[in-house]
Structure formats: C-alpha cells, structure tokens
Amino acid sequence: GENVEQHPSTLSVQEGDSAVIKCTYSDSASNYFPWYKQELGKGPQLIIDIRSNVGEKKDQRIAVTLNKTAKHFSLHITETQPEDSAVYFCAASYHSSASKIIFGSGTRLSIRP
C-alpha cells in the first residue's frame, strides 16, 4: 500500500525566514497531495493541495511543488510569522474516496521571534 515519509520531524526557523518540509510517497498511482496544518487543541486544517497534473501551486506565502518522477513533494512557507507555528502534515491519495488518504508523520514547525 501507499507509504508517505515526511522530513524533518521538527523545524525551527527565524521569523521572516523560509521553511521547507519535504515528503516522499511510494505508490506512483497517487495523484492528489494535500497539506494540513494542525494547531494545538485543534483538528488538521487543509492549507493547500496539489494534483499530479501540475508541478507547482502557490497561495500567498505558501507554495507546494511536486516531482512525480522522483515521487516527492514539498511545502514552502516564505516570510514566516509566529502564527505559522504548528504541526504540518503532508498526505497522498489515489483512491476514489476523499477519506482514503495516507498521512505523513508530521513536522512540528516553530518560529523564533
């Protein structure tokens, strides 16, 4: 079955700097890759997603890139702010149902003031 690996598990960056989180997946049939942000005491919230027919997608300070040949995708956050501190999860999906997605292990991002 699908397996998603996520790195690093923890990341600390200076406020204003960029943060990059990387994920790899095993099943070449996967073609939908959402990213979730989970704040303390809350459930995961979708922040951006990418489909396999595009290589990059951007939404303000957040961007995601996808390399299908290498089977990896990355989340880029620029000009980081204190409110970006949270746990981020990547995920991969290829099933017909929205619920059949495999999550990465998560990255705890801390923004240093």
Residues in contact with another protein by CB under 8 A are 32, 34, 36, 41-46, 49, 51, 89, 93, 95-106
Q: Which pair of tokens denotes residue 76?
A: 């880029």
Instruction: Pick between residue 21 and residue 44 the one whose CB is nearest to another protein.
Output: 44
Residues 76 and 108: their CA atoms lie apart, in Å, by: 14
Instruction: Pick between residue 53 and residue 113 the one whose CB is nearest to another protein.
Output: 53
Strand partners, 51: 32
Residues 66 and 50: their CA atoms lie apart, in Å, by: 8
Min dist. Cβ of residue 82 to another protein (A): 21
Min dist. Cβ of residue 68 to another protein (A): 16
| Residue matched to tokens 């396999």 | 52
The answer to whether 82 touches 26, Cβ cutoff 8 Å, is no
Instruction: Pick between residue 2 and residue 65 the one whose CB is nearest to another protein.
Output: 2
